[in-house]
Amino acid sequence: MTLALVLGVWLIHDGAPGDGPPPVGAAVVRASDTPAGTGQSSGGQASPSPESKPGNPPPQPLPPSAPTRVRIPAIKVNAPLAGLDLDPAGHLDTPPVGRPNQAGWYRNGPAPGAPGNAVLAGHADTRSGPAVFYRLGLLRLGDQIEVVREDRRTAVFTIDAVRTYPRAAFPDAEVYGPTERPELRVITCGGTYDKKSGYSNNVVVFAHLTSSR
């Protein structure tokens, strides 16, 4: 499903003073890298995903069920998820600024674990300090994201790529384009912060379903 979202408007007035969130690592930063899901880093070395290894077939997609919590062990995220809609201009709403440790899920798109491209979003920081996805740029290929769902199933995703894009040139088709297998995008702000224009970039994590429990 392709979404008409313009995520570069996030946090225009909500950044915290200081140096901003940690930047995306050099090994996974470039927007021109091999497309997500190929298991190849910007350095050119292949990194096979678990589902591509012999004797390990791709997991079966899960039926739709709304997510309730996201856990990212590598950066110590364990946060509740709330449904997000689009505003009148077609921009994705954000979780309330007063709840910096809450993340959101685009409720009109695929559910995490079901076929298609599920989208999670959250603040990097607010005026009060770091927020739920402050350390998102520190993730690496092969790290895992766990999404707990209302049906009590947990969808486990493995990260294929972590990228940063200029807000003014956000590649909607690449990030939100349709997929046949269950995939996940986790998005926040990054780059430099300006009081008038907000953050310069968006950080996007690309991941695919590798197991469920």
User: pLDDT digits over 37-67, tens only?
Assistant: 433 333 222 333 444 455 578 899 999 999 9
Asked whether residue 43 is domain-assigned, the answer is no
Supply the CATH number for residue 157's domain. 2.40.260.10
The parent domain of residue 98 ranges over 7-30+61-212
The pLDDT tens digits of the residues spanning 176-212 come to 888 999 999 999 998 888 887 888 889 999 999 999 9
- Residue 50 included in any domain: no
Q: How many domains does the chain have?
A: 1
Judge whether 56 lies within some domain.
Answer: no
Single pTM value for the model: 0.80
What is the tens place of the pLDDT at every residue in 101-157?
Answer: 999 999 999 999 999 999 999 999 988 889 999 999 999 999 999 999 999 999 999
What does the radius of gyration of the chain's CA atoms come to, in whole angstroms?
Answer: 16
